[in-house]
Amino acid sequence: MKSATPSLPGLVQSFFQEHLDQARGASPHTIRAYRDTLRLFFGYLARQRHCGVDRLALPDVTSQRVLDFLMDLETRRGNRPVTRNCRLAALRSWVKHLLRYDPSHADQYARILALPAKRAPRAQPDYLEPEQFRLVLDQVDLNTPLGLRDGALLLFLYNTGARVSEALQVRWSELDTTRPWQVRLHCKGAKERICPLWKQTVDLLRRLQLQASAPPERQVFLNSRGQPLTRDGVAYLLSHYYRLARKEHTCLPRPSIHPHVLRHSCAVALLQAGIDLTTIRDYLGHSSVATTGRYLQTNLAMKHEVLDRFWKRAGLESGQPKRWRPTQGLLAYLESL
């Protein structure tokens, strides 16, 4: 029996349902990122072909059109090379799926997979020093119901270094507020990790649990309507408290403040405490220690400390030479000559 000819809509659907969701166990954030890339790409193809998206077919997906789409991202949308490369990575993943199910266009897909990423300098991550984070946390009124939730959320993100998607998935049943204080986090790629908690974090979470009187399977961080908080909601809260802190403390920097800044801040604080990279990798749930290593390039204070240690280890520091002063006996001797 002859197999059905694959179609573009069918391969898009199987890519998200069978490949990303079932085979890879991709996170909702990853699925949204791939969805947005394909939405932009199909919209661009439709404009170029002067037709509706539903009229597009697999032969329209060519390497030249992918290149033109990437150029359009930079020129018309003003995307930076890093964003361009992320879009290309998403398209490559989808094209690999096409190659598995549509070998008749193998040459066409191979040319797309051969497209190189654009070289670009990697931006250093923004982060807050521990004392700067404390200034932000001090803006939260812990005596109000929403303030208690906000304080517990911000401290939880900083304590665990959790991605915001991981924090928003946490349920009360996954929190252990008795010794040893810890939380089970659901990471990218259907992985899990156990993260320890500070006593201060646990105290706020206990107060929040008593206030909410929520069942064990309910999510911890909810909005004012009793629904789970969203990524945008967390971003708004952090930005709000950071603006309040900057009004009182103008010394605070003006980074691009977003929830991932707290994850960066946790990583840098661990490095400053002398924790080795492999432990930090496991603490943050990184897949590679190379990802963790980029924080070494971030902190200027650590660079100065390393330089001082290197200077002392090299043995080049001789200290200040002592000024020669003649003794009284020597002067008497010279006078006698």
- Of 188, 193, 207, 246, catalytic: 188
274: left (phi over 0), alpha (psi -120 to 50) or beta: left
How far is 291 from 233, CA to CA, in rounded Å? 27
Catalytic, 258? Answer: no
Residues 201, 142 contacting (CB under 8 angstroms): no
Q: Is 295 a catalytic residue?
A: yes
Residue 163 among the catalytic residues:
yes
The yes-or-no answer on residue 193 being catalytic is no
Please identify which of the residues 84, 149, 186, 286 carries the catalytic annotation: 286
For helices 130-137 and 260-272, angle between their N-to-C axes, nearest 10 degrees:
140
CA 336 to each of CA 326, 328, 330, 332: distance values in angstroms, whole numbers, following the listed order: 15, 13, 10, 6
87, 263, 264, 281: the active-site residue: 263
Out of 84, 87, 97, 163, the active site residue is 163
| Helices and strands in the chain, H and E counts | 15, 3
Structure tokens that stand for 82 in this block: 């890093």
Look-up of token digits 């004392």 = 131
Closest alpha carbon to 3 in 97, 144, 104, 86: 104
Is 322 marked active-site? no
Q: Provide the residue type at 148 as one letter.
A: L
Catalytic-residue membership of 243: no
CA distance 217 to 201: 20
Catalytic residues: 163, 188, 260, 263, 286, 295
